[in-house]
Amino acid sequence: MAKTPEKPPFRLDHWIQNLVLVGLIRALLLLPYTWRVPLCGWIMSRVIAPVAGYSRRIRDNLALIFPEMPEAEVRRMMRAVPDNVGRTIIEMYSGEEFLERARRAPIRGPGLEALEEAKAQNRPVVLVTGHFGSYDASRAALKARGFKIGGLYRPMTNRYFNEHYVQAMASIGSPLFARGRQGMAGMVRFLREGGMLGIVQDQHMNLGATLTFFGHPAKTALSASELALKYDALLIPSYATRRENGLDFDVLVDAPIPHTTAEEMSQALNDHLEAHVREHLDQWFWIHKRWKV
């Protein structure tokens, strides 16, 4: 008989972290949306980022990729990047108010027609984005236009936070599948039935292939490309760029990546994201440890 999975041990530090974050989120949700989103960005950039080490990580990443960047611009990025991160987090917990903003977002790009054709033909689609702008806004915007888009996610280390984080993601679109064996069976069935799967693929993966991102080696997951090849799915990059008002978005659904090899397709995704980030440097999550090769 199969063994019942053991419950992870209690972690006091994780429990306290979750308690603080839940309290902050609930307090912010009491405010009007147009106050809540910028305030969460301010708290993230001015309070949480320096304490959590995000400010230092942003500086280190920029020093690696843009060593000639002026100090004044580095300091601006150290504020602007976590501000966008904070906005993105509270948007995810804002439910219908966030969805309404996403519904109004204009969608452009040749991939939209490709999505329509795939839907008509019941052909699976793998939509790939990065931790850029408000990365769930594109999924919400497409959902509002009749596309059912599931999501593949990496569970957070803090299991207490992960429980309500997944619920927040599910309110934007479902079904959701956790990376690993538990979510694999359902994800495969979803794709075989012609489903559209959203993947955020721009973090360091220990077992990934060594590709390049911004000209430096970066361990990159091949999963999106491998799924597209195995199930004859379209592989489409998509991003939601935050507008200057900090509350609304422009959604890009670009042309499908041609099927070649998983490595070549994944490198094409890296290159595509890099080109987009260069146009909006402060909207990518430079807080991640992307270059650990």
pLDDT digit string (tens) for 16-39? Answer: 888 888 899 999 999 999 999 999
- Does a structural domain hold residue 251? yes
The total of structural domains in the chain comes to 2
Percentage of the chain modeled with pLDDT above 70: 97
In this structure, the answer to whether residues 141 and 85 fall within a common structural domain is no
In this structure, the answer to whether residues 171 and 249 fall within a common structural domain is yes
- Does a structural domain hold residue 246? yes
CA separation for the pair 226, 265 (Å, rounded): 9
- pTM comes to 0.90
In this structure, the answer to whether residues 55 and 199 fall within a common structural domain is no
Q: What's the pLDDT at 1? A: 43
pLDDT averaged over every residue in the chain = 90
In this structure, the answer to whether residues 74 and 115 fall within a common structural domain is no
Could you tell me the residue range of the domain that residue 51 belongs to?
A: 12-97
SS3 annotation, the chain: CCCCCCCCCCCHHHHHHHHHHHHHHHHHHCCCHHHHHHHHHHHHHHHHHHHHCHHHHHHHHHHHHCCCCCHHHHHHHHHHHHHHHHHHHHHHCCCHHHHHHHHCCCEECCHHHHHHHHHHHCCCEEEEECCECCCCHHHHHHHHCCCCEEEEECCCCCHHHHHHHHHHHHHHCCCEEECCHHHHHHHHHHHHCCCEEEEECCCCCCCCEEEEECCEEEEECCHHHHHHHHCCCEEEEEEEEECCCCCCEEEEECCCCCCCCHHHHHHHHHHHHHHHHHHCHHHECCCCCCCCC
In this structure, the answer to whether residues 75 and 194 fall within a common structural domain is no
Confidence of residue 5 (pLDDT cuts 50, 70, 90): very low
Lowest mean pLDDT among 26-30, 59-63, 163-167, 214-218: 163-167
In this structure, the answer to whether residues 198 and 274 fall within a common structural domain is yes
Q: What's the pLDDT at 89? A: 92
Q: What's the pLDDT at 14? A: 82
In this structure, the answer to whether residues 205 and 138 fall within a common structural domain is yes
161 pLDDT more than 80: no
Q: What's the pLDDT at 232? A: 95
Q: What's the pLDDT at 2? A: 41
- Does a structural domain hold residue 292? no
Q: What's the pLDDT at 133? A: 94
